[in-house]
């Protein structure tokens, strides 16, 4: 049972992390900070799922 709870907790944590990254990206875009460096940092922090 503890393993199941751990998996669910890990998934929720990952979802929260991705939400934070998305919000940060949208704020930067709103501020006009859309440089290649900022987008590269996002790509490293939020890799595509396989």
- pTM confidence score: 0.38
Q: What is the pLDDT of residues 21-34, one digit of tens each?
A: 888 888 877 766 65
- The pair of three-digit structure tokens given for residue 14, joined into one six-digit string: 């990952």
Give the per-residue pLDDT at 1. Answer: 46
3-state secondary structure (DSSP) of residue 34? coil
What span, in angstroms and rounded, lies between the C-alpha atoms of 24 and 42?
Answer: 9
38: left (phi over 0), alpha (psi -120 to 50) or beta: alpha
* pLDDT of 49 strictly over 70: no
Sign of CA pseudo-dihedral 30, 28, 44, 47:
negative
Q: Any idea what DSSP says for residue 46?
A: S
- The pair of three-digit structure tokens given for residue 26, joined into one six-digit string: 């949208």
């Amino acid at each position: 049972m503890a393993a199941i709870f751990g998996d669910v907790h890990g998934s929720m944590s990952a979802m929260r992390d991705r939400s934070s990254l998305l919000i940060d990206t949208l704020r930067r875009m709103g501020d006009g900070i859309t440089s290649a460096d900022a987008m590269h940092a996002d790509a490293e922090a939020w890799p595509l799922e396989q």
